[in-house]
Chain A
Amino acid sequence: MPNGYNGKILIVDLTKGKWEVETPDEKFYRTYMGGSALNMYYALKLIPKGADPLGPDNVLCLSTSIVTGVPVSGQSRMTASAKSPMSGGAGDSQCGGFFPAEMKAAGYDAIILKGKSPKPVYLWIKQGEVELRDASKLWGKVTGDVEQALKEELGDKKIEIAQIGPAGEKMVRYAAIMNMSNRANGRTGMGAVMGSKNLKAVVVRGKPKLKPAHMDRIRELAKFGATNTKENPAVWDLHINGTCGVLSYQQQDGGLPTRNYNEGQYEDYEKISGETMTETILKDRDTCYACGVRCKRVVEVDERGYKAEALYGGPEYETIATHGSYCGIKDLAAIAEANQICNMYGLDTIQTGTSVAWAMECYERGMLSKDDLDGIDAKFGNAKAMVALVNKIARREGIGDLLAEGSKRAAAKVGKGSEDLCIGVKGQDMPAHMPQAKTSLALIYAVNAFGADHQSSEHDPSIDPASSASEKQKLSEIGLTKPLPVKDFSRDKVHYAYRTQSLYSVLDSVNLCQFVFGPAWQLYGPNQIVELVNAVTGWDTTIDELLKLGERRIAMMQAFNSREGLGHQDNVLPKKIHEPLKGKGPTAGSAIDRKVFDRAVQDYYEIAGWDKNARPTHSKLHELGVGWVAEAIGAS
């Protein structure tokens, strides 16, 4: 048996109710390693060009990696990929929790789901044994109820579940795959793809049996993590206040999106901050398998008609911002309930909140009337209206049916200039890190294959001259030694963005948590990622080899997009980003200059090896060892 991985990939044909097991060789694992890169291999091979993202030809790929399940913080991640119903290009989303480690212990490194089951089913994998079981009784149930029902049906409280809620069944375009009831593969609509296949859940149970090559070296890494978690201020803050700890920081930076991205500061930010959550509704801190950071929140709310139970976890920063400042809402209890609805019904909290914020701005500007909104007075700041709209989206009810398509498609129907109020790239709305405050995000939001994403590169402050010595040290391990101010947007900054994007792309393929491993402020730096991979597999990889893996995954996703007709015309920012930001604070009046942005995009294409239409070139794909992709897409 190889060190670190099962060497088995389960391919399930849901139409026929049959499955087979592929056993790729070591070269395959060393080339793709897992997660997103491995998924893109199958997506490019198995999804026919032009496939309907919500039709049976789409293929949903769920992958762990070569390191999943070893006892080190931040390694229990699973990547879901398919053709995205949001963008029509590559879909890609990660989750943590305990499911990934359990899935690998159940005997498969990846699960590839083809076709469409004639009736609702769930996939049950127990120590390598596979079964498709009837899910008719589970269909229509919310995640917490399904979790309970499956534990009873299978007589095992320790099962781990990746499931869709009713939103996925109804193919809300940005439905999530929920991991148990409180974590999600949130972005790019992977839950809608799962729903289109009549697949309610993937349930796993295993026994860890994989032997890493060098357990002593893994123990050393774990020891380093245990000693340094509290010493690293950024990581310790994640423990204390969760991801929401960053909300107050964003405010001082003028980077807290407010009222549908019209402003960069929210006057009531302290009412919804991480500090306030810790002091009020926080009941517990939760974690992912073997992680000592414990950044996950557990909240309880029962006040003024708002409710949230511990079973559904607690809101992340993105959830609080999109349902809070984006909507001008200062009520943490209402936001906690909105988070719970998203987790019960299985929705991407980011896209849910941004869709509501878009509707609110349309309402304020008279593009949507109260009648259009089923009588809801959707003014910015109306917390009850926000929760009501989230409920309607979750059920595709009334106006929720339109908003369930995402703001881009909704705007195409509404017209009246509402298109200009959208804040998306490739149909996926921008998360709560503003390009006006962190310049290189303007570029990465635009060129990223699956739309605007804040977890695809390192943000600008880490390369600023004022960054800490430890950030500088980690960045130097990937060759980034020249400090660049936050607002710099030179070719050097483009290089920084691509280089760190390549490292984040490694993280999404080796499937590592980006709060624990990374190129700058995280607990472990690039050289320790190399050490982890080698300690688990017994290989002799280097940072250069890993960065090539990162580039390979970026190029494969972009090749997929090119094949599906997405190109340069899609690598653009919403109009708002090029117009002066309103409101107060350090970013008021700032905008991303179009000419500077256009030049940065061209620089990026050159550095990444893409042609003018954003197609990875033949020579780049060959250089990355995936010449077969060039042939498949007819690269120039």
Chain B
Amino acid sequence: MKIKIKFFGSFRQRFSREPVEIDLPEGSCVGDVVAPIGERFPGFAQLGYQPLLAVNDCFEKPDKTLEDGDHVNLFPPVHGGATDH
């Protein structure tokens, strides 16, 4: 399934201003975007922290299942940054 990825915060300057699209197998979770993004943008794989993950403008835990066409937003941990979702 096709997932659209957008970078936020300092990620945008560091990785890509434009959204990128990745292909993931059915049933993938939002946490599964990290590895392919890390392959495409090596610096992303070397972050010393966990990025924050949001699906369709809502922060989610990495085990949230994705659906075809979902938008995933990636954030560095700004101003604290944990979420309980």
| Chain A interface residues toward B at CB < 8 A | 231, 233-234, 236-237, 240-241, 245-246, 248-249, 251-254, 265, 274-275, 278-279, 458-462, 464-468, 471, 485-487, 520-521, 585-586
Contacts and interface: CB of A to CB of B under 8 A. Distances in A.
Contacts, number: 105
A461 B57 contact: no
B10 A241 contact: yes
Interface residues of B, number: 26
Given A231-B48, A241-B9, A585-B58, A252 B75 contact: yes
B12 interface: yes
Contacts of A237: 9-10, 76, 78-79
Contacts of B75: 248-249, 252
B66 interface: no
Contacts of B80: 234, 458-462, 464, 467, 471, 520-521
A487 B57 contact: no
Contact of B58 (A460, A465, A471, A586): A586
Closest 3 CB pairs of A and B: A461-B80, A464-B82, A466-B82
Interface in B50-71: 50, 52, 54, 57-59
Given A251-B57, A468-B49, A585-B58, A240 B79 contact: no
Contacts of A233: 9-10, 49, 76-78, 81
Contacts of A468: 49-50, 77, 81-82
A275 B8 contact: yes
B57 A252 contact: yes
Interface of B: 8-10, 12-13, 17, 48-50, 52, 54, 57-59, 73, 75-85
B83 A253 contact: yes
Most chain B CB inside 10 Å of its own CB: which residue of A254, A461, A487: A461
Nearest to B61: A466
Contacts of A467: 80-82
Given A231-B48, A252-B54, A240 B73 contact: no
A485 B8 CA distance: 24
Contacts of A265: 57
8 contacts: A236-B76, A249-B79, A253-B83, A275-B12, A466-B83, A521-B81, A585-B57, A586-B85
A231 B76 CA distance: 11
Nearest to B55: A252
Given A253-B83, A462-B82, A487-B84, A279 B17 contact: yes
Contacts of B59: 252-253, 586
B10 A240 contact: yes
Nearest to B53: A252
A265 B85 CA distance: 16
B8 A234 contact: no
B57 to A, nearest CB: 6
Nearest to B12: A275
A471 B81 CA distance: 10
A275 B9 contact: yes
Contact of B77 (A253, A459, A521): A521
Most chain A CB inside 10 Å of its own CB: which residue of B10, B52, B75: B10
A520 B84 CA distance: 17
Contacts of B10: 233, 236-237, 240-241, 245
Most chain B CB inside 10 Å of its own CB: which residue of A274, A459, A521, A586: A586
A485 B83 CA distance: 8
Most chain A CB inside 10 Å of its own CB: which residue of B48, B59, B76, B78: B78
Contacts of A520: 80
A198 B76 CA distance: 47
B9 A245 contact: yes
